[in-house]
């Protein structure tokens, strides 16, 4: 909060796997001048009736896990989960909203909570390469 936004460019490859039950997304790019790699898995849990998402990357050793529901009106999934704050060493809530803006584009917004206040920590716009 209170700092200018940083911009960077990255590539992501999305593939369905495990009998098309899950989408694997492989990310690569630069973050603050350092090579960045990340991987997410998104699927739908038919028993719990929720979307689930995991995230790992080369900047940390933790696994982020969240669950979310589809909002037809906004064409989005709102995920909620807990993530380890590496500075404090404790679990903090986060919220992620993935909005499908067209067949060729979607947006991910990440919100974190600090001192009881939620703030937007990241916004990523994904556009299909043609």
Q: Determine if residue 2 is left, alpha or beta; phi over 0 gives left, psi from -120 to 50 gives alpha, anything else beta.
A: left
Query: pLDDT tens digit string along 12-50?
Result: 999 999 999 999 999 999 888 889 999 999 999 999 999
> What's the pLDDT score for residue 33?
85
Asked if pLDDT for residue 68 goes beyond 80, the answer is: yes
Token pair recorded at residue 91: 């679990």
User: What dihedral angle (degrees, nearest 10) is formed by the CA atoms of 58, 59, 65, 67?
Assistant: -100
- At residue 6 the predicted structure's pLDDT band, cuts being 50, 70 and 90, is confident
Q: Which pLDDT does position 87 carry in this prediction?
A: 80
Euclidean distance between CA atoms 43 and 46, whole angstroms: 9
pLDDT digits (tens, 9 = 90+) for 85-116: 878 888 889 999 999 999 999 999 999 988 88
For 72-94, what is the mean pLDDT?
Answer: 92
């Amino acid at each position: 909060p209170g700092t200018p936004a940083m911009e960077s460019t990255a590539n992501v490859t999305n593939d369905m796997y495990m009998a098309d039950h899950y989408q694997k997304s492989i990310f690569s790019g630069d973050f603050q001048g350092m090579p960045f790699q990340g991987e997410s898995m998104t699927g739908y849990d038919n028993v719990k009736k929720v979307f689930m998402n995991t995230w790992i990357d080369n900047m940390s050793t933790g696994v982020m896990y969240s669950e979310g529901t589809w909002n037809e009106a906004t064409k989005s999934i709102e995920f909620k989960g807990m993530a380890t704050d590496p500075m404090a060493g404790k679990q903090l809530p986060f919220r992620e909203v993935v909005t499908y803006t067209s067949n060729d584009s979607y947006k991910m917004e990440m919100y974190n909570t600090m001192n009881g206040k939620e703030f937007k920590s990241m916004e990523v716009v994904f556009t299909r390469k043609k």
